[in-house]
């Protein structure tokens, strides 16, 4: 028969700890606990001897707590990661710096076999653009050059623009277009210059002295092949024309043959005129180079000397870390379903283990009779 005055777990804890009982039931429960506590019997002597016959364990090593280990390992790993990124970045920065000192990494574009030369940004005043040998080996070339210069202020910008026009005229060229904008000490200008190809190197050299070169870009396109083709075609047509005229002047042609020859002669002359015009255009392109001179008063994008190396190294290091972080995020996203399934599986396994354990312990009787005889 169950007693109506049930004892709450919290009150039971107090009674076990020695609190004074308030009711008979509490007193009985406390008495029960005392009886259980006082009924402890020592382990059998044979068990004690059995255990004491074992050798003593080796001294326990002092363990490093997980917290201390984490406090040391995490900063160490971060330090190694950052140092590695800086080393890689420094190597990349040095490469970039070396290229800057050379002045020109060369890239070739495929377009009527042009040759592209791009100058890296440099703040060295008066750095000369790469020499192009405008009439290299006499070959016809179409040269398109872009030069960007930084000047101190708006006044110098105006003076430099005037000087550029004067230089180009002195070299036999002309200013095709000009735009100048100034506002106080700031300003920018753009001049499109046409310069005889033979003088393009001199022009580039003299123009670069007007300020600090911050960028340069050149596209050269070989026109000689096209020109040679045109010349050979023209020569072939000239020969065909002479042959046709000789035939017409021979007086041996029938009326029909004469007519056909005259038609053919007319067609040849027309084609020759067209080829002449093409040759003229190609020759004109090869005769002068287009130079675009951009002047500005903006600060240089890149630093100088050592600062650019450090900046480049730091930037490369940050890029590397950024890429590593992006890769980590990508992997986390890709692997997250597997991780989730793993966690769910682990929790299910633990839950099952707990249920099995509870089932084993809920047996009223011992699991099985002991194989050894009971005493």
Partner 1 sequence: MADDHLDGVHQYLLLLTADPTLAEDLAAETFEKALRVWRRYDPRRASERTWLCRMARSIALDHFRADARRRRREERFAHERAWQEDDHIPGTFSPELDAALRSLTAAEREVIALRIVLDFDADAAAQVLGIGRSACSMRLARALRKLEERMEAHAVA
61-72: burial string, b at 16+ Cβ within 10 Å, e else = eeeeeeeeeeee
CA distance 182 to 180: 7
18 counts as binding partner 1 under rule CB under 8 A: no
> Parallel, antiparallel, or unpaired: how do β-strands 186-196 and 174-183 relate?
antiparallel
Using the rule CB under 8 A, which residue among 24, 95, 238, 357 binds partner 1?
Answer: 357
Size of the site for partner 1 (CB under 8 A): 59
Cβ-in-10-Å burial (0-12, 13-18, 19+) of 193 comes to: buried
Span from 38-46, 192-200, 233-241, 318-326 in contact with partner 1 (CB under 8 A): 38-46
If we measure between CA atoms, which residue out of 293, 297, 292 comes closest to residue 188? 297
Nearer to partner 1, 50 or 232 (CB): 50
> Directed axis angle between helix 305-361 and helix 66-102, to 10°?
150
- Taking residues 52 to 81 in sequence order and writing x for each that binds partner 1 by CB under 8 A, - otherwise, the string is x-xxxxx-xx-x-x----------------
360 counts as binding partner 1 under rule CB under 8 A: yes
37 counts as binding partner 1 under rule CB under 8 A: yes
Work out how close the CB of 95 gets to partner 1 at its nearest, in angstroms, rounded to a whole number. 51
Span from 50-58, 99-107, 116-124, 250-258 in contact with partner 1 (CB under 8 A): 50-58
Nearer to partner 1, 38 or 252 (CB): 38
Cβ-in-10-Å burial (0-12, 13-18, 19+) of 265 comes to: middle
- 235-294 residues in contact with partner 1 (CB under 8 A) are none
Find out whether 192 and 176 touch, Cβ atoms under 8 Å: yes
Read off the tokens for 21.
Answer: 């009982």
Work out how close the CB of 67 gets to partner 1 at its nearest, in angstroms, rounded to a whole number. 10
26 counts as binding partner 1 under rule CB under 8 A: no
Nearer to partner 1, 2 or 250 (CB): 2
209-241: burial string, b at 16+ Cβ within 10 Å, e else = ebbbbbbbebbbbbbbebbeebeeebeebeebb
Chain residues in the site for partner 1 (CB under 8 A): 1-3, 6-10, 12-13, 16, 28-29, 32-33, 35-44, 46-48, 50-52, 54-58, 60-61, 63, 65, 354, 356-358, 360-370, 372-375
């Amino acid at each position: 028969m169950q007693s109506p005055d049930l004892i709450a777990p919290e009150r039971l804890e107090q009674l076990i700890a020695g609190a004074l009982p308030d009711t008979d039931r509490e007193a009985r429960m406390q008495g029960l606990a005392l009886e259980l506590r006082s009924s402890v019997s020592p382990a059998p002597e044979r068990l004690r001897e059995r255990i004491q016959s074992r050798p003593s364990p080796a001294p326990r090593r002092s363990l490093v707590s997980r917290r201390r280990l984490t406090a040391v390992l995490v900063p160490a790993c971060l330090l190694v990661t950052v140092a590695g990124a800086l080393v890689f970045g420094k190597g990349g920065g040095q490469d970039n710096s070396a290229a800057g000192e050379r002045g020109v990494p060369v890239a070739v574009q495929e377009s009527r076999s042009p040759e592209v030369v791009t100058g890296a940004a440099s703040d060295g005043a008066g750095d000369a653009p790469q020499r192009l040998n405008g009439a290299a080996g006499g070959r016809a070339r179409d040269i398109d050059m872009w030069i960007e210069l930084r000047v101190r202020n708006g006044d110098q910008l105006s003076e430099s623009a005037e000087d550029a026009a004067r230089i180009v005229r002195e070299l036999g060229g002309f200013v095709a277009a000009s735009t100048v904008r100034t506002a106080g000490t700031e300003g920018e200008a753009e001049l499109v210059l046409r310069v005889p190809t033979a003088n393009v190197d001199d022009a580039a050299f003299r123009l670069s002295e007007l300020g600090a070169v911050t960028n340069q870009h050149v596209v050269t396109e070989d026109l000689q092949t096209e020109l040679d083709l045109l010349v050979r075609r023209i020569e072939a047509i000239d020969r065909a024309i002479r042959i046709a005229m000789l035939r017409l002047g021979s007086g041996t042609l029938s009326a029909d043959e004469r007519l056909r020859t005259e038609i053919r002669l007319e067609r040849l002359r027309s084609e020759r005129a067209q080829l002449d015009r093409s040759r003229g255009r190609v020759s004109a392109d090869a005769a002068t180079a287009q130079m675009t001179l951009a002047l500005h008063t903006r600060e240089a994008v890149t630093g100088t000397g050592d600062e650019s190396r450090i900046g480049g190294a730091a930037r490369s290091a940050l890029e590397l870390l950024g890429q590593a972080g992006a890769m980590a995020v990508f992997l986390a996203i890709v692997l997250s379903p597997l991780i989730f399934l793993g966690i769910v599986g682990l929790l299910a396994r633990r839950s099952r283990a707990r249920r099995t354990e509870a089932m084993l312990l809920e047996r009223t009787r011992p699991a099985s009779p002991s194989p050894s005889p009971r005493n």
